Amino acid sequence: MFCAISNTTPEVPVVSSKSGHLFEKSLIEKALESSGGRCPVTGELLAASDLLPLKVGASVKPRPAAATSIPGMLSLFQNEWDALMLELYSTKQAHDSARQELGHALYQHDAACRVIARLIKERDDARRALTEAQPAAPAPAAAAAGRTAGAWRCRCRRGGRRGTRA
Predicted confidence (pLDDT) per residue in 147-157, tens digit:
444 444 545 44
List of residues 6+ apart from 163 with CB closer than 8 A:
153, 154, 156
Q: How confident is the model at residue 163 (pLDDT cuts 50, 70, 90)?
A: very low
CB of 38 closer than 8 Å to CB of 32:
yes
CA–CA separation, 157 vs 135, rounded Å? 38
Of 142, 144, 124, 140, the C-alpha closest to 132 is 124
User: Do 17 and 52 form a contact (C-beta atoms < 8 A)?
Assistant: yes
In whole angstroms, give the CA distance from residue 111 to residue 1.
68
Query: What share of the chain has pLDDT > 90, as a percent?
Result: 36
pLDDT confidence bin for 165, thresholds 50/70/90: very low
**How many other CB atoms sit within 10 Å of the CB of residue 8?**
13
> Looking at 43-115, which runs of residues are DSSP E strands?
51-53
Q: Band of the pLDDT at 57, cuts 50, 70, 90? A: confident
Q: Is the whole model's pTM more than 0.85, yes or no?
A: no
Look at the chain and count its residues: 166
